[in-house]
Amino acid sequence: MNKEKIILWVKEKHNFLFLLIIILGFLVRLYYLEVNSAVWWDEAGYLSTAKHWFFDVPYRPNPQHAVLFPVIAGLLFKLGFSEAMVKFFVVLIPSIGSAVVMYFLGRDMYDKNIGLVGSFIMSIFWVSIFWTTRFQPDFLALFFQLLSIYFFWKWYTMNKGKYLYFSAAFLSLAFLSRTQSVLIILVYLLFLFIIEGFKFLKRKEVWISSLISIVIVVPYLISNKINYDNVLAFTSGYSSQVESKAPFGWYILKFFKIFTGADALSFLYFVLFIIGLITLINLFLGYDLLRKEESKNLRADLFNLLILVVTLAFFIFYLRIAEDRWVILVAVPMFFFIGKGIFYCLKYFSGLSKNVTFFIILFVLLLGAYSQLTLAHAMIMQKSSSYSEVKDAALWMKTNSNNTDIIVTASEPQTVYYSERKVIGWGSDEKQLEKDIDTYKPKFMVLSVFERHPDWVYKFPEVHKDNFIPIMTYKDKNDQLLLIIYELSY
């Protein structure tokens, strides 16, 4: 694309607004990039895995964690990138990249206006902004999921096999980032079956794309077999809620409201989402039109509805538990339906000028954005200093120990990441701990309020006070003890 074409592209009003949206979303995320004092348990799990693979730091990776995120992080650490720069590339860029793809996906599914609304809300979405400050793979996975959906849609509407190959490749990368991304395959299959029946199975590009996915994913499955003796090691723990007969997770439906914000202004986005859902009545009334080529919007509605249904069904009926970032894929159809709700309402004010209509849309979106950004800011700042004492203690122990020294603590991933020392837990009971002490001869032991400990653990140092020397303590501003490091004498 030459300079003249770029200038013409930018001058087009939708493209210009799109660029403003992305710049806004990027700057907001950049502002909070280094706000946190320390990493949390799951973050440290990924980062410790990265250090284990690339720097031989002693750590056993969690089999539930997919591999792509720590692989990329480890490579960047190996190249000498700082923690902030690693976060910039593996979290921030995919996070704002999701807002980028939202525009093009919404444009192709509906029109440029819906694309702009979806992109704008994703760019200021409080869940995205909050978790972009943390080392979590959810938005790397979402970015690849959106790219996969985008190319799937281009394949289906343009009937060019290469787009399905791209879709398969990006879906495989999404799976390697977060294994729950496999749910999108079910969305694809249900969509194709509803539109075509079994005819889609006759398309050769469907089978070639399946082969592409297998080639990309199989090495990961083989590594699971080698390391954990289970090809599907990432599923460990997923069925615990079912096995424990936990009730269905109907509370997960509350995320529809939670995603729109937490104050009175958030009600605006929620109402528009409900109106957008109401417009889906055309999908059911016009079901017989789905197989006609001119029914692009109906097919888009069907596809987005399937994303909602499949994702929610998995978490409500199978996993039965969820956090906001786990069900982040639901936000994609939500934001498109909010856009549909806005433009459906504007049909009743068709006599307004384009400028008045534009400012109404802008006013509505900015009110919702204020709710999103204030909630994100409050949550980020509230959590920004959490677990800083665990980090400080781990760094102190690193400075005051040798590479071969061992630490006993319940905060294993965080301590491994910061101290780069081998960590063992407190054991199942006192006898097991005494045996571990005799076997490993740990240098330090840590007690803190940040992790749960059995009651006997708190008594253990006092019972063995001749061998446990309190050497460092960390307190809050009210002089309450938060963490204590004991040095062991033998």
pLDDT tens digits for range 71-129: 999 999 999 999 999 999 999 999 999 999 999 999 999 999 999 999 999 999 999 99
Same domain, residue pair 414 and 400: yes
392 and 378 part of one domain? no
Mean local confidence (pLDDT), 130-139: 97
Would you mind telling me the total number of residues written for the chain in this entry? 490
Across all residues in the chain, what is the average pLDDT? 93
The residue segments making up the domain with residue 393 are 388-488
pLDDT tens digits along 249-290: 999 999 999 999 877 677 889 999 999 999 999 888 877 777
395 and 369 share one domain: no
- How remote is the C-alpha of 363 from its chain's centroid? 29
Structurally, the chain folds into a number of domains equal to 2
Residues 134, 280 share a domain: yes
Lowest-pLDDT range, 177-191, 277-291, 320-334, 431-445? 277-291
Whether 322 and 467 share a structural domain? no
**pLDDT of 448 strictly over 60:** yes
pLDDT tops 70 at residue 243: no
Question: Can you give the pLDDT at residue 244?
Answer: 58
Single out the residue in 355, 383, 411 at which a domain terminates: 383
User: Is the separation of the CB atoms in 447 and 461 below 8 Å?
Assistant: yes
Q: Are residues 462 and 323 in the same domain?
A: no
Look up the pTM and report it: 0.94
The last residue of a domain, from among 346, 361, 383: 383
pLDDT at 114: 97
Q: At what angle do helices 388-399 and 412-419 cross, to 10 degrees?
A: 50
Q: Do 218 and 324 belong together in one domain?
A: yes
137 within 8 A of 177, measured Cβ to Cβ: yes
- The residues that bridge with 271 in the sheet, in sequence order, are none
The band of 246, judged by pLDDT with boundaries at 50, 70 and 90, is confident
430 plus 373 within the same structural domain: no
Residue range 459-479: mean pLDDT, rounded: 91
408, 445 contact by CB (below 8 A)? yes
| pLDDT above 70 (res 160) | yes
Give me the residues paired with residue 414 across strands: none
Residue 240, φ and ψ in degrees, nearest 5:
-65, -35
Q: What is the CATH number of the domain that holds 445?
A: 3.40.190
Q: Which of 22-36, 80-94, 229-243 has the lowest mean pLDDT?
A: 229-243
Closest listed residue to residue 302, CA positions, set 327, 282, 273, 326? 282
- Looking at the structure, tell me whether residues 334 and 480 fall in a common domain: no
pLDDT at position 374 over 70:
yes
Q: Is the same domain home to 319 and 399?
A: no
Query: What band does 5 get if pLDDT is binned at 50, 70 and 90?
Result: confident
pLDDT in tens, 39-48: 999 999 999 9
Per-residue confidence at 67, pLDDT binned at 50, 70, 90?
Answer: very high
Choose the final residue of a domain: 354, 383, 412. 383
Residue 11 predicted with pLDDT over 60: yes
Instruction: State whether 157 and 100 are in the same domain.
Output: yes
| In a shared domain, residues 467 and 325 | no
Residue 239's alpha-carbon distances to 62, 314, 317, 318, 328, in angstroms, are 16, 11, 11, 7, 21
